[in-house]
Every structure is written in C-alpha cells, then in structure tokens.
Amino acid sequence: MTTPSLTPPEQGGFHLDWRVAQRFARFAGQYWTGSTARQAWTLTLALACSLILSTVVTVAMNQWNRWFFDALERRDVAGLKQAVLVFFAIVAAMAAIGVGIVISRMTLQVRWRQWLVEHLIGKWLERQKFYHLNATGREPPNPEYRISDDTRWATEVLVDLGIGLMTAVMGGIAFITILWSVGGSFGIGGVVVPGYMVWCALAYGIAASTLTAWVGRPLVGRVGQKNEAEGYFRFAMMRLRDNAESIALVHGAAAEQQVLRRFYDTVVGRWLAIVRSNAHLTWITNATGPMIPIVPLLFAAPKYLAGDLTLGQVTQLAAAFVQVQQAISWIVDNYSRIADWYASARRVMDIVDASEAIEPHLPEKRRDTALPKGLALALDHVTLHAADGHPLLLPVTLALQRGEAVHVAGPSNTGKSTLARILAGLAVPSGGQLAGVGPQSILLLPQKSYLPLGTLAEAIAYPQTGPVPPAADLLAVLQAVGLASLASRLSETARWDQVLSAGDRQRLAAARALILRPDVLVIDDALSALDGGAQRMLIERLRREIPDLTILSLGQRAAPANTFDRVLELTRLDHDAMLARTSN
C-alpha cells in the first residue's frame, strides 16, 4: 500500500460555499417547524430575551462608568456611595441574566443536537440505506464520526455564533448611539463632523477587520482539511480495534503502526498549516487589539482638554468604542469558529445528500407472485444481474413445502449469498418469479452472526424492538441450543461478539430463531463452525419447537446425513445455473 493511498484527499477547493449553509439550514431548521417546534421556539425566545436583557445591563454599566468617574472628578462622596450600591445591583443582575443565558443556550444546543442525530440516524438506516451506501461505495467516509461528533460542532458552535452575532448587532446599535450622542460633533479645519466618534470607530474597525479577513482567508480551507484528516485517522484506529484478533494472530502490530503513523503525519502536516495561518493572523490581532482601548482616548482627548467632555464622558466613550469594535470585528474574530462550523456542517450534509442520492438506486419493494397452496417459498428461474449486466445469480428454480427443511450446497461464486440477499429483500430479482412470505417473515442467519451491544438477553432477542422476552423463555432456548452455561449471564452487558466463540455465536443465532419464530428460516452457512452432530441437533430442535418452520440452508459443504428432507446441489454452468437433486 502506497503513501498516497493512505492520504485523505487534499480538497484544495475547500472554501465557504453558502449553498452548504443553505442546505444545512433547510434540513436542521426543521427542528423549529416540526413536532419539536414548541420546544425549539420556547428555548430560542428564552435565549433571545436573556441576550436583550444582557445588552440592557451592559449599557447600564456603561452609564454607571460615566456616573462614577464624574462623581470621582467632583469628589462627590455621597454620589460615589450611591454608585457603589448601584454597581452591586448591576452585578447581581448580570449574574442572574448570565445564568439564564447558560441554561437556555446549553439546553437549546443539547435538544437541537438530539433532534439532528435522531434524524440523521433515521435517514442513514431507513430502507437499509446504511447497507446499500456501503455496498455501492457511495457512503461518505467515517459516517459514525460525522453523526456523533460533527453534529455537536454543527449545532453547538452555530448557537454560540448566533449568540455572538445577536449580541454584536444589539451592542453595536446601542453603543453607536452612545458614541453619537455623548461624543457630539468635532470641528476640523472649519469643517464640523457630526458624531465624529462614530466615524472614527467605524473607520478603525473596518480597516482592522478587512486586514484580518484578508490575512486569515486560507484558514477556512485548512481547518476543513484538518478535520478530514482527523476523520481518516480515527477510522483507521477503529478498523484496527475491530480486527484486533486477526492483526494480532499474524503479528501485524508493526505494520499497523506504520499505517497509523502515515495517517497521523497527514494530521500533523495539516495542523501545522493551521499554526502558520494563525501565526500570520496573530501579527494583525496583536497589533490592533492592544490599541483599541487607547485609540478612543486619543480621539476624545482634544475635546476633553478643551473642556467639552468630562472625565466620566471620556471613559464612557472609551468603553462604547471598545464595544463597537467588538461588534464590527465579530466575523473576523470568529473566523476560525465559522470555519470549524462550516467543515462540520458540510460533513453532516454529506450524509444527508448521500442518503437522498441513493434513493433511486434502492431495490424496489418486492412484488411476489401468489404462493401455490402448501408451499412456503417458490423460486422460478430467479436471476440477478449487476448494473453493467454481469450475472450475479444465474437462474434458480426451487420450491419449499411448509415445514420442509432443504439444504442447498454449492461451491463459491455460485450465488448462494446473492440468493440470501434476495430472500432478505436487499435485492430485487432481475428476472424470474418469486413467491412466498415477505422479507419481514423471513429470518436470515448469516455466517458471521451479529451480536449488538447490550445484555445477553437483548442479543438473543435481536432484532426484536419490543420488551425483552421473559427470562424463563430465554433460559429454555439457551438450554435447547446447548448454551446452558450462559444462563446466569442473561442480564450481563458485554462485547458478546468477542466473549463468545464462533460456535457459540452460531448457537446463539439458533436461539434467536427459537425466540422470533419466523415463517421461513434461511441459514446462510450459519452453522459452519459446528460439527455435524451439533448441526443436526440444532436443526432437529428448531423443527420440533416450530413445527411449521420452513428451513432453507445454504452452504459450501454437504449437509450432515439424515438432517434435511432434501439436499440439493447448486452447480454453475457456462450460461445457466441449476438445482439438481441429490440423495440425502
């Protein structure tokens, strides 16, 4: 494997695309229009009211500054005492409003992210899209990271940015008014400039912000590329963990370390690019930032020296000037956060877009023909072709009686797993006729049985979504499939796919069939880890416990003797496939 193949795409064209923001707004904005609208608007209005009150109190503090310094200049002891009392009242109000902002902000972030995660998971899982996206190569890299982490950045950061923008706009309006009214006009060379402090603040703020935006422009793309590289590195570590045993058995740790090092070298390189961008940005911010408190004093000094402004008015103007600068430079100051949000929002929308784009390629709902009396499943020259016309399954003809058990043996590449996918509803036949119960009444046991996270009881009942069956029923099926030793662990939570051996996992799959009691059971080489005697015992137990159960077993090896009613062989010819009956 070469280094380029281990490197995430550079995405050199990674720039802010407002179409992504618009699509995200349409999708995630449904939190305010759907069933959660009442909750969303309550939290939003509570947050907005808190921010308005916060601006009012900030303006009050600005007025207090003028009052206090004027009293100090006049040496007004009584006025100073009153100012101190008012100060504590303003601080108490600020604290209370701050609590309101924190509660409404964080609750809105949590609830919005909850809505977004639930809807993303729904889009990803509905109609088995997660399978089809993966099988067709249309799935965006690292969907689990996008759903778990990018949703947090896409919602939390956006709420914070919204708070900052609203505060900046309200503060800018309020303090520009103060600069205009308190600063008054100023004459320069016989020309009177009304509200001169406003024009000074705007000129300084726009010049500094424009320069900062120009220098920091590359940061957007570099943040996006860094996040992409982080996702690839995390995915590589996840694959290592999921395949830990296979890697350890072949002593592949050194090779995996080399792979991970190459991935992380890309992460480091992209982080260093961000460091360089931030260094360039710091030249501007560190040069202009310290000047902000001093510049208004310089602008106000001529009028103060002329006696047109009091000391309190000068301090009030200086504080208002700082607030206006913060409002003007809000976008620039939050440039990196906007880049972070955009990168996460785009990654979230990749899942939405991929889920919608796969829609036309999903298999249509299977239209089975009427089932002849006494049959549970009937296939008449059923075939399947890939999009390019390549045959994935050559014509298969097969009829199963209710309660019958049939084993179909055949070498690799004869289409056994493809046939299983058709029966499970993951693919629609290209030709032929299929009659039988719907996919929801068929339980398919794959060779590698999936065991979900949770208790052993939940693993047995999977994919049942209702309450876990009674313990007595679970104990009975464990006993029936030879797993009585696990009876005391029903309520235990563990990684059962790692705790249990391959044979025990397959026994557990048989126990699942006893709990779910399907009409048709398709065993896709799902007992291959067991010896012939164990396989025979499980099949006999299934048929005894569920008398009407129809069993179709698919495997490469011949079936154990005296286990199935019929044993068929799937053979591949040059232009056809057929099922030839063999002796049991």
For residue 6, the model assigns a pLDDT of 43
Secondary structure class of 378 (helix, strand, coil): strand
User: Average pLDDT, whole number, for the chain?
Assistant: 86
Number of domains in the chain: 2
Same structural domain, 349 and 475? no
Quick one: pLDDT band at residue 297, thresholds 50, 70, 90?
confident
Q: Among 102, 98, 108, 89, which residue's Cα sits nearest to residue 53?
A: 98
Query: Does a structural domain hold residue 465?
Result: yes
What mean pLDDT is predicted for residues 373-383? 87
Within 10 angstroms of residue 137's Cβ, the number of other Cβ atoms is 6
Alpha-carbon distance values, 72 to 64, 124, 312 (Å): 12, 66, 9
In this predicted model, what pLDDT tens digit does every residue of 534-556 receive, in sequence order?
A: 999 999 999 999 999 999 999 88
Q: Which helix (H) or strand (E) holds 432?
A: strand 431-436
Neighbouring C-alpha atoms within 13 Å toward the C-beta of 131: 10
Query: Does a structural domain hold residue 1?
Result: no
**At which residue do the structure tokens 């609203």 appear?**
166
Give yes or no for residue 506 having a pLDDT over 60: yes
For residue 13, the model assigns a pLDDT of 43
In this predicted model, what pLDDT tens digit does every residue of 29-71 receive, in sequence order?
A: 999 999 999 999 999 999 999 999 999 999 999 889 889 988 9
Same structural domain, 438 and 568? yes
Q: Is the peptide bond before 469 cis (omega within 30 degrees of 0)?
A: no
* Alpha-helical runs (H) found in 358-482: 416-423, 456-461, 471-480
Within 10 angstroms of residue 454's Cβ, the number of other Cβ atoms is 15
Query: Does a structural domain hold residue 111?
Result: yes
DSSP string, 301-355: HHHHHTTSS-HHHHHHHHHHHHHHHHHHTHHHHTHHHHHHHHHHHHHHHHHHHHH
Tokens read off for 493: 């939570």
Same structural domain, 304 and 431? no
262-271, 361-370, 569-578: lowest mean pLDDT where? 569-578
Same structural domain, 345 and 479? no
Give yes or no for residue 205 having a pLDDT over 70: yes
% of the chain surpassing 70 pLDDT: 93
In this predicted model, what pLDDT tens digit does every residue of 101-124 receive, in sequence order?
A: 999 999 999 999 999 999 999 999
Give yes or no for residue 520 having a pLDDT over 90: yes
Please, which contacts does 496-501 make with residues 24 or more away whose CB atoms are closer than 8 Å? 496/451, 496/456, 496/459, 497/450, 497/451, 500/451, 501/529
Q: Which helix (H) or strand (E) holds 555?
A: strand 550-555
Query: Does a structural domain hold residue 9?
Result: no
Strands lying side by side in the sheet with 375-385: 391-401, 375-385, 431-436
What mean pLDDT is predicted for residues 550-566? 90
Give yes or no for residue 3 having a pLDDT over 60: no
Q: Which helix (H) or strand (E) holds 567?
A: strand 566-572
Residue 141 is given by DSSP the state S
Same structural domain, 135 and 183? yes
Quick one: pLDDT band at residue 190, thresholds 50, 70, 90?
confident
Same structural domain, 388 and 355? no
Same structural domain, 139 and 279? yes
Same structural domain, 400 and 353? no
In this predicted model, what pLDDT tens digit does every residue of 413-459 receive, in sequence order?
A: 778 888 888 888 888 888 888 887 666 688 999 988 888 888 999 99
For residue 372, the model assigns a pLDDT of 75
Give yes or no for residue 320 having a pLDDT over 90: no
What mean pLDDT is predicted for residues 145-174? 92
Task: Give me the sign of the Cα torsion angle 543, 548, 553, 557.
Answer: positive
Task: Give me the sign of the Cα torsion angle 371, 376, 380, 383.
Answer: positive
What mean pLDDT is predicted for residues 333-354? 86
Query: Does a structural domain hold residue 272?
Result: yes
CB 386 within 8 A of CB 136: no
Strand 186-188 with 391-401, pairing = unpaired
Burial 457-490 (b: 16+ CB within 10 A, else e): bbbbbbeeeeebbeeeebbbbbebbbbeebeebb
For residue 411, the model assigns a pLDDT of 81
Domain that holds residue 176: 18-361
